[in-house]
Amino acid sequence: MPFSPKIVRLILVAPLVLCLVFIGCGGEPRPDGLPPLHPTVVQFTQGGEPIEGVSVQLVSETDGRWPIGGTTDANGSVTLQTYGRYPGVPEGRYKVLVLKTERERVGPEPQSMFEPRIENVYDLVDPIYSTPETTPLTVEVQSGRNSLGPFDLGERIRRPARQPGT
């Protein structure tokens, strides 16, 4: 005996309704106390040209509670996110940290997972931009859309990076 069209619709729609009930329509809840976020795009150049693959982090001058960052695209632009998943940035003043490195393998490939992989690490952006104490870059994020920069990071470099403890 075939099912009536009403039964078929119910069978097809019921799983969808149950999914919405259990998952919810709003997605993941925001962290407690997360202030309103404002769309923020920052642009970077190096030697006057857009720079891709730069890791960008904003450090609040007043409340460092919310990690904010992103990576520049081929146009040198980064659309910042809070906690790596919430688009936008809370209002406020921030220090801008910038880092881009390159790794170069030295010697043969390790033969086991217990052998160290020896690499040289090079800074591709002046390390002055990599700490809150030394970066000269600051931005102010205001309510609404923010398009900041471009900030030029100086001439292209490739110098050995400081290793921790040196």
Task: Please tell me the predicted confidence (pLDDT) of residue 40.
Answer: 98
| Torsion on CA atoms 130, 132, 134, 139, rounded to nearest 10 | 90
Q: How many domains does the chain have?
A: 1
Q: Which domain holds residue 129?
A: 40-160
List average pLDDT for each run of 10 residues in the chain, which is 166 residues long.
48 46 56 94 97 97 91 98 96 97 85 83 95 97 97 93 62
In a domain, 111, yes or no: yes
Q: Chain centroid to CA 143: how far?
A: 20
In a domain, 34, yes or no: no
139: Cβ contacts below 8 Å, ≥ 6 apart? 42, 58, 93, 94, 96, 146, 148
Task: Please tell me the predicted confidence (pLDDT) of residue 89.
Answer: 97
Residues 124 and 158: beta-carbon distance below 8 Å: yes
Q: What CATH number does residue 123 fall under?
A: 2.60.40
Task: Please tell me the predicted confidence (pLDDT) of residue 164.
Answer: 54
> Which 3 state secondary structure label does DSSP give 119?
strand
pTM: 0.75
As a residue count, the chain comes to 166
Task: Please tell me the predicted confidence (pLDDT) of residue 117.
Answer: 76
Task: Please tell me the predicted confidence (pLDDT) of residue 27.
Answer: 59
Kindly state the tokens that stand for 26.
């709003």
